[in-house]
Amino acid sequence: MERSQAENKIAQLRAQLDEWSHQYYVLDAPSVQDYQYDQAYQELLALEKQFPDLISPTSITQRVGGQILTGFSKVQHQIPMLSLGDVFSKEELGDFVQKLWENTKQTCAYSCELKIDGLAISLRYENGVFVQGATRGDGSIGEDITENLRTIKAIPLQLSEPVTVEVRGECYMPKEAFAKLNEQREQKGEAVFANPRNAAAGSLRQLDTKETAKRQLSCFIYYVMEPQKYGLMSQTQALAKLKEWGFRVNKQAQQATSLEQIMEYIDLYHEKRSSLPYEIDGIVLKADPFSVQQELGNTVKVPRWAIAYKFPPDEQETIVRQIEWTVGRTGVVTPTAVMDPVLLAGTTVSRASLHNPDYLKQKDIRLLDTVKLHKAGDIIPEISMVVLEKRPKDSQEYQIPTTCPQCQAKLVHLDEEVALRCINPKCPALLKESLAHFASRNAMNIAGLGQKIVEQLFDKHLIVDVADLYRLTYEDLLKLDKFKEKSATNLLTAIDASRHNSIERLLFGLGIRHVGAKAAKLLAQHFGDVESLSQATSEEIAQIDSLGQVIADSVVAYFANQQVKELIAELKAANVNLKYLGLSQEQQQNVTSAFSGLTVVLTGTLDQIKRADAKKWLEEHGAKVTGSVSKKTDLLIAGHDAGSKLTKATDLGIKIIDEATFIKQMEESQSE
């Protein structure tokens, strides 16, 4: 495709994708199926890779994140971001309305809006293009979180009009995303978020923008700074204009002209609260005309023309009858309170996660305790407190278990984790997941051994741990569904080939907590074989550059496990290599090449050598290979279809070579 054709096509695709995205994320009214959107997105992505100079910061493809931030700079708010005063009863709200009438000597309309439980943000646009986003901070000074806000699909990167404007709103995490995030964190043994607001705040302060992009944040915009500049006379007009510009505006906002209508609004959304896809903790009442807002003004902290009415908490009392412990797929052992059923936010609830032993101890929850139960984020049952005056006189502190409820192996509680963990490689709860990881490409690389095959092997009782893979026979494999002679032969060949891998693959494949592919390589280089590593102390491991105490403690705890010792013995008996076959760190340091001491980035498609092989060769010849381009990068090796990394390297003046030049320099280094 010619450049001019590509330019036109890219413009068409961006406009179409922006429209579809706006319909989906802003209007909640998708007009096309997901596959149509995905096809157009992939087409745009391919064209931008082919013509990287046509990539625009306002392109929808730039929302995925990828920038690693070093911190957040401060932003001075030109006009302070005030908080709202609170009232907790309808009587107090009626008093506020009465006082407003008395102060203005007139009856005015009100804007009734839902109080979204999130994080206040400010967005600044110049000529319609998003240029800066900030947190509220202390009201006067916030933090610049522009790059993280770019990943939120409900925030337009370009407005429908080329206006220069600052708007404010609320960033939040939807209930479904909150539940999913906490589930993932619990499986990893990480502390869970107490509510969606905390989750949103934590997500916006991630230094890795890719991590923010994964969190599925959204936002509602509700305020235009200096609205008179745009001919706006009321909050109702401002909300309509915000929607017209392309912002996501909460469609539940209503105008009210009497106290009776305000109360009806409160009752309606107090009832609907649990069915909304986002959490609210009340309603916000604002004088609708901007003239009234200006007349009433602000105190040092809050506006006099607006108030927040907070909903009373929806809590029920119940009794804890039992505490169950379950093992997740990553080995995290989680306690769950089993209680007398109660009706809470429209559903019957009888179970609530207690997350981890530390949480259970902090709450001091015991059997037969009367507890107060609510729903965090209106979705996740949570015990807020124990009613101590109702605790039985003979109550005893709950004892945390020391053995796995599935396999009875001793549980470990690593220093930096809040979770108890089972690390028995033969635990039934862990086995299927660990076997699939063991066979994966970056681990033992057993081609053809995917999740479905692993499940069949396990369900047919052909394997109980990874060592059993090396005992499988041709006849065993023919018992699997849809397995014929060729499939069985190919899998046996792949399993046999994996016996000869260097031990860094084995160490990564074993799934040792915190030990990724890079750490496994460093451990293998330093200790040389599994036996030496298994006998190493925490201090010896922690001294290895780039590892540290967390990894050291995890490795020592792993190899101290009796079941692990038995597994290593079984692997040895199955003739699986337990030694490092590459160059040691000392040998690598003695290797001299054109790449020694360089920080190198690989990008694009390589035809003559696999990316993994190129990385391995570079590291063995003294280079440090990283995944992103920065000022510290010395060299970029670019295959064809190189994209944004090539553009960035060019902008930074970094040396760039193609694959042919790289291959030639490899050959020259080997002949020296």
Catalytically active residues are 115
Q: Which residues contact 177 (CB under 8 A, 6 or more apart)?
A: 215, 216, 217
SS3 for 431?
A: helix
- Report CA 560 to chain centroid distance, whole Å: 32
Per residue, what are the HEC states of 43-76? HHHHHHHHCHHHCCCCCHHHHCCCCECCCCCEEE
Q: How many CB atoms lie within 10 A of CB 32?
A: 15
Report the distance separating Cα 413 and Cα 96, nearest Å. Answer: 53
> Does residue 26 contact residue 248 with C-beta atoms inside 8 Å?
yes
Question: What is the distance between the alpha carbons of residues 352 and 379, in angstroms, rounded to a whole number?
Answer: 11
Q: Which residues contact 140 (CB under 8 A, 6 or more apart)?
A: 76, 77, 80
Residue linked to tokens 């029920």: 316
Token representation of residue 634: 């010395």
| C-alpha to C-alpha distance for 228 and 216, rounded to whole angstroms | 34
Q: Which tokens sit at 168? A: 């404010």
Write the burial class of residue 6 (CB in 10 Å: 0-12 exposed, 13-18 middle, 19+ buried): middle
Per DSSP, what are the bridge partners of residue 626?
Answer: 601
Cβ-Cβ contacts under 8 Å for 246 (sequence gap 6 or more): 22, 26, 156, 158, 159, 160
Of 378, 109, 87, 376, the C-alpha closest to 234 is 109
Distances (CA, A) of 312 to 26, 57, 267, 275, 280: 30, 44, 12, 17, 12
Burial of 321-335, coded b for 16+ CB within 10 Å and e otherwise, reads: eebebebbebbbbbb
Listed as own residue / partner, the contacts of 94-102 with beta carbons closer than 8 Å and 24 or more positions apart are 94/259, 96/285, 96/307, 97/259, 97/262, 97/285, 100/287, 100/296, 100/304, 100/305
Residue 176 vs residues 29, 149, 161, 279, 635: alpha-carbon distances, Å? 18, 20, 33, 10, 43
- Of 370, 378, 376, nearest to 317 by C-alpha is 370
507, 520 Cβ separation under 8 angstroms: yes
Residue type, 636: L
Query: What is the CB neighbour count within 10 angstroms for residue 161?
Result: 14
